Amino acid sequence: MNIGKALTLAVIVLILIQFVPQPSHENPPITGTPEWDSPRAEELFKRTCANCHSNETVWPWYSNIAPLSWIINFDVKVGRSKFNVSEWGRPGKNEGDDAADELRKGHMPPWFYMPAHPEAKLTDTEKDELVKGLSATFGAEKPEKHEEKR
């Protein structure tokens, strides 16, 4: 198959998948919120983390285009299931105590999120402020806590 035919086929497939039902972009209701350590910690969190870790996701225009819509919806669903400040106090694990460590280690925000969300880029000072704010708000993961979970 030559490149022209392959590109034509790819375009046809991309057009056809737009007719597959797309995931909902409705944000669930807010059922609980944490008591933030400071307004600054909350502001930095909302700027950097809230799209995936709250029920206040701002869905960009490209989140309506398959297959991006499926990927973005999946990422938000996973993020909310692990740590969601809009469902604070819900039954089950809400991994706020891991948040500071994930940020400190550079695991959050994920690299693939950053190009489309330059507002989420933190300076070193902002990162330190957010880590301290997350630790103060949610607690910091301690080695002995891992033992309790097992």
Element of type H or E holding 100: helix 96-104
At 107, the pLDDT band (50, 70, 90 cuts) reads very high
What letter would DSSP give residue 87? Answer: B
Please indicate, yes or no, if residue 12 is contained in any of the structural domains.
no
Cβ-proximal residues to 108 (8 Å cutoff; 6+ apart), any chain: 49, 99, 102
Residue 64 domain-assigned (yes or no): yes
pLDDT at 127: 96
The answer to the question of residue 18 being in a domain is no
Number of domains in the chain: 1
- What is the span of the domain harbouring residue 112? 24-149
pLDDT of residue 149: 34
Q: Compute the residue count for the chain.
A: 150
Residue 93: per-residue pLDDT: 80
Distance between the two ends of the chain, CA-based, in angstroms?
A: 53
Quick one: average pLDDT of 119-138?
95
Residue 5 forms part of a structural domain? no
Q: Is position 96 within any domain?
A: yes
Over the stretch 4-33, which tens digit does the pLDDT of each residue have? 999 999 999 989 999 988 888 999 999 999
